[in-house]
């Protein structure tokens, strides 16, 4: 249906503005409402253009000034925020201190974990060297749980392969199994700690970004997160400083001290 809008150009604009939003027949009340809005906007625009000193022009300038000021505040540089906003400065300093403390704790935990990993790896090598080895390179150990001989991959060894092996010299597999479990656990811990180290660095860099600094509320959240991370890292380090796995191994499958899940660290 052709719209009779020749004498009302603003009405035609109103119709074009709403027709794509309507389903079914055009609602006359909606078109009239849009028409009034378009007419008012057009009238205001003409008045501002023809009379820059009018009240409407002044109001427009005030509104644009406020909008520009709000945008400027939202995009202030870090240096400007630190110099002009005491609350932000305090939140920033607290977060940076928490980042530093967490970073140091993580570095110490990683160092202790790497030492624990190296220690248990050496003990595993020594333990394997103390038990008989087959010609194909497999080490022979005895699993008392099921009464069979197994290699370092916990695979059973056939009687044919055991021919000629001095079974009196065969070591129990349990100490080896515990050491391997501990080595795997420390390896997983180190991966986790290194991931946290990267996160600390990323959040610190974001907080130091002069053009796009972290918002104040996020800085407060980051501070709490970093403090939790520091406590977790300290617990990791404490775990690694326990007596080494594999001390005083005997043929009775005894291990002096083995860190267990009793000292497990809760997930964040």
pLDDT in tens, 68-84: 544 544 568 888 888 88
CB of 190 within 8 A of CB of 60?
A: no
pLDDT reported for residue 5 = 47
Task: Output the CA–CA distances (angstroms, integers) from residue 163 to 50, 59, 132, 140, 173, in the order listed.
Answer: 108, 100, 12, 12, 19
pLDDT reported for residue 28 = 66
* Residue-averaged pLDDT of the chain: 79
pLDDT reported for residue 42 = 73
pLDDT in tens, 169-204: 999 999 999 999 999 999 999 999 999 999 999 999
Q: Is the pLDDT of residue 268 over 50?
A: no
The fraction of the chain above a pLDDT of 90, given in percent, is 53
Task: Output the CA–CA distances (angstroms, integers) from residue 59 to 55, 73, 169, in the order listed.
Answer: 6, 21, 96
pLDDT in tens, 11-21: 666 556 555 55
Q: Is the pLDDT of residue 259 over 80?
A: no
- pLDDT, mean of residues 240-265: 47
How big is the CA angle at 105 (ends 99 and 108), to the nearest 5 degrees? 140
Q: Is the pLDDT of residue 260 over 70?
A: no
Pick from 132-136, 137-141, 175-179, 214-218: least confident = 214-218
The total of other beta-carbon atoms located within 10 Å of residue 37's CB is: 14
Closest by Cα among 166, 141, 161 to 153: 141
């Amino acid at each position: 249906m052709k719209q009779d809008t020749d004498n009302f150009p603003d009405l035609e604009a109103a119709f074009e503005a709403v027709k794509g939003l309507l389903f079914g027949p055009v609602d006359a009340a909606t078109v009239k409402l849009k028409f009034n809005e378009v007419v008012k906007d057009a009238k205001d625009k003409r008045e501002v253009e023809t009379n820059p000193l009018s009240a409407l022009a002044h109001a427009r300038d005030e509104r644009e000034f406020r909008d520009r000021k709000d945008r400027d505040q939202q995009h202030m540089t870090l240096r400007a925020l630190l110099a002009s906003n005491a609350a932000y400065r305090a939140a920033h300093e607290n977060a940076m201190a928490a980042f530093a403390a967490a970073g140091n704790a993580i570095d110490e935990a990683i160092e202790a974990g790497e030492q624990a990993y190296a220690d248990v790896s050496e003990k595993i090598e020594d333990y394997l060297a103390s038990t008989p080895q087959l010609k194909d390179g497999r080490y022979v150990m005895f699993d008392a749980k099921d009464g069979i001989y197994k290699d370092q991959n916990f695979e059973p060894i056939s009687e044919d392969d055991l021919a000629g092996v001095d079974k009196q010299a065969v070591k129990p597999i349990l100490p080896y199994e515990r050491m391997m479990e501990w080595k795997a656990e420390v390896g997983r811990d180190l991966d986790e700690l290194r991931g946290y180290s990267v996160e600390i660095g990323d959040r610190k860099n974001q907080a130091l970004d002069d053009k796009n600094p972290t918002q104040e509320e996020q800085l407060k959240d980051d501070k709490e997160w970093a403090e939790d991370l520091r406590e977790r890292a300290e617990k990791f380090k404490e775990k690694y400083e326990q007596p080494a796995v594999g001390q005083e191994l005997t043929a009775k499958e005894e291990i002096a001290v083995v860190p267990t899940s009793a000292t497990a660290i809760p997930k964040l």
